[in-house]
Amino acid sequence: MHFALVPPGQAEYVHRPAGRVLDVVVDVRVGSPTFGVHHLVVLDGDRPRGVYLAEGLGHAFVSLADASSVTYLVSSGYDPAREFGVSPLDPALDLPWPADVELEPSAEDRAAPTLDEDRQQGLLPTMEECAARYTALRHARGPSRQPARPRPQPSHDPADDHGRAERAAVVGGERVVALHPVPAVDGPAHPFDHQELRSRRETGQDDVTRPHPPPRPAPRPHPSGEQPIAGTHRR
């Protein structure tokens, strides 16, 4: 099981292109409330997914099928001077390796110290170091969301209404303003009511919010006494 010193550490995104793999993540951050706790994830074709490991976590896996392969997307390059390991067979970790699989640990795994031995030698990352690294990375990326721009408020000039009255209502906690032509009548304006307005329009009784235009004046007689044909004009 390998891990990297922090900072900078090494974040990993683990993916299984082929086969079936049991992926194991162990918290090796000294001072973490979950120090020494492990998490298991099966990576296979039945449920395609990957595993993300933040800086300061230990990682190991075991193949559960022939021709299995694992790929890594890492946040920093490999630095052997800052790479260390923990024995995956450490009794204190008590990792639940499959009993029906014959384990073949690598030479590095067989020679790796236990978690307690790494801790006594001061090789494990601390939770304080990792938290500072996470904060620095968030600040380097900047805010995840841009602040919303304030909506421009439309200007309203009563002189442009030409006989229209402003009516307002509160819908969903927001003030909605609508302009409707109304006849010049004495007394207060009718309250703005969406339901009433819709009903008036559907029944053709929109005589309050939309008055009928005045009747058109009769055509003037032609100077020559002739009646022009409808739809034509003289130059």
Q: Tokens at residue 36, please? A: 């020494």
Quick check: is 2 catalytic?
yes
Please give the angle made by the CA atoms of 117, 1 and 73, to the nearest 5 degrees: 140
How is residue 197 annotated by DSSP? H
Q: Which of 39, 72, 194, 222 is catalytic?
A: 72
Q: Tokens at residue 73, please? A: 């997307």
Q: Where are the alpha helices (H) located in 53-193, listed in sequence order?
A: 107-111, 115-120, 127-141
Q: Which residues of 156-178 are buried (b: 16+ CB within 10 A; e: fewer)?
A: eeeeeeeeebebeeeeeeeeeee
- Residue 186, classed as helix, strand or coil, is coil
Encode 31-49 in three state secondary structure: CCCCCCCEEEEEECCCCCC
Q: Please count the other Cβ atoms lying within 10 Å of the Cβ belonging to residue 51.
A: 19
Quick check: is 180 catalytic?
no
Q: Which of 2, 15, 38, 190 is catalytic?
A: 2
- For 109, phi then psi, to 5°, come to -65, -40
Q: Can you tell me the distance from the alpha carbon of 108 to that of 114, in angstroms, rounded to the nearest whole number?
A: 12
Q: Tokens at residue 74, please? A: 């890492």
Q: Which residues are catalytic?
A: 2, 72
